[in-house]
Amino acid sequence: MATQRIIDFINTRRPNGPCMVLDLDVVRENFHNFEMALPESKIYYAVKANPAPEILRLLASLGSSFDTASVAEVEMALDAGATADRISFGNTIKKERDIARAFELGIRLFAVDCVEEVEKVARAAPGARVFCRVLTDGAGAEWPLSRKFGCVPAMAVDVLRSAQQLGLESYGVSFHVGSQQTDLAAWDRALGDAKQVFDALAKEGITLKMVNMGGGFPTRYLKDVPTAQAYGQAIFQALSKHFGNRLPETIIEPGRGMVGNAGVIKAEVVLVSKKADNDNVRWVYLDIGKFGGLAETMDEAIRYHITTPRDGDVSEPCVLAGPTCDSADVMYEKNPYPLPISLTIGDEVLIEGTGAYTTTYSAVAFNGFEPLRSYVI
Ligand SMILES: *Cc1c(COP(=O)(O)O)cnc(C)c1O
């Protein structure tokens, strides 16, 4: 949501061109809400959602840990003040030399999802802790993470057994229920799978200690979403159901849920037009689109809340598109977006809930448009 601080910043600074303005007070509040919702879980902020140094420094000072996906992200977290024992290398796809570099920097917790990756970690980070990611179906998520990461639970048993045999510490199981997950039952299914892996390895004398419950916590776009507290309750119930009173250590890795609602994009209407006199949908072109940071509108997956200076006037469904000369740069067409008929060239609009997965998704100079500027206040 656009906080008063964000609105005041935009009105007084009048930044030229599209930009994302993010309010750190909202991030601080989100962090506290996660802490209260899941007091027994450690929070590893997923750096990829928004790696702005101000955000990382704030979270490091609040005691957050960090989930990183590359050496550069490890370094960003270290620069922000996190110690290496508070950083995980959570990408299941790593070059062996990057594992070695992270190990040199002190990182001791790595994600794997196959024996081939375990072998790399065993060579480049001897003795480190590994957790194995299991597949989830992503059902209920608006931005599912598909089959790219994870393996079936039966294979996770083999992966963690081989890790132990190669001198690593088989530490636990991870999953990600899909981003913008609004089905609270998704964690229940995944925790059931994790327990199977715990049990199978326990029979072989390997005691796992940790479940990494990933991200997936939502930002409110157009529809209401459950509160952090509701997620906390559902997850705690599922943990108790599957693990009884022998609860493992747990980690959560919020990305979107930590920063999404803290940011707002200010954009401008560049053109409003029709394709024929009798066309009944208008095309509204903004100075930002898929290549300027709104990549999550791909397949119209994420539907942002847009406010305009003419809200309250009669509105009609519009096709919403970006400014580049690429025909893929259309955000909402199959499901047109209602906007005021009076909306006109030069109007400034606010695209809400854009603190996550925007600045880092924007292209460097496609068509000469500069990358999305970001102001963290
Ligand atoms: C991207 C990512 C996250 C964050 O997901 P959100 O849905 O944004 O909370 C967490 N864990 C891993 C391993 C990720 O890749």
Span from the CA of 46 to the centroid of ligand 1 (angstroms): 6
The number of the ligand 1 atom at minimal distance from the alpha carbon of 181 is: 7
- Residue 331 forms part of a structural domain: yes
Contact 360, 373 (CB under 8 A): no
Count up the domains in the chain and report the number: 2
28-56 mean pLDDT:
97
- Residue 143 forms part of a structural domain: yes
Q: Are residues 152 and 242 both part of a single domain?
A: yes
pTM comes to 0.96
DSSP reduced 3-state for 208: coil
Say how far apart CA 153 and CA 158 lie, in whole Å.
9
- Domain boundary among the residues 195, 222, 254 is at 254
Contact 88, 66 (CB under 8 A): yes
Q: Where residue 145 falls among pLDDT bands split at 50, 70, 90?
A: confident
Span from the CA of 44 to the centroid of ligand 1 (angstroms): 10
Candidates 265, 263, 271; CA nearest to 324 is 271
Q: Are residues 155 and 273 both part of a single domain?
A: no
Task: Return the DSSP state at 148.
Answer: S
Who lines ligand 1 at CB under 6 A?
46, 48-49, 67, 90, 176, 179, 214-217, 253-257
Residue range of the domain that includes 307: 261-376
- Domain boundary among the residues 204, 232, 254 is at 254
Tokens of 102: 């992270």
Element containing residue 190 per DSSP (H, E): helix 186-203
DSSP reduced 3-state for 305: strand
Span from the CA of 280 to the centroid of ligand 1 (angstroms): 40
Give pLDDT tens digits for 365-374.
Answer: 899 999 999 9
Span from the CA of 75 to the centroid of ligand 1 (angstroms): 18
Q: Are residues 269 and 202 both part of a single domain?
A: no
Question: Best substitution site from 64, 176, 221 to test ligand 1's pocket, by max atoms within 8 Å of Cβ?
Answer: 176
133-157 mean pLDDT:
88
The number of the ligand 1 atom at minimal distance from the alpha carbon of 143 is: 7
* pLDDT for 147: 80
Contact 9, 21 (CB under 8 A): yes
% pLDDT > 70, the chain? 100
Contact 71, 39 (CB under 8 A): no
CATH number for the domain that contains residue 282: 2.40.37.10
The number of the ligand 1 atom at minimal distance from the alpha carbon of 356 is: 8
Give pLDDT tens digits for 63-74.
Answer: 999 999 999 999
Query: Cα–chain-centroid distance for residue 176?
Result: 10
Residue type at 360 in one-letter notation: T
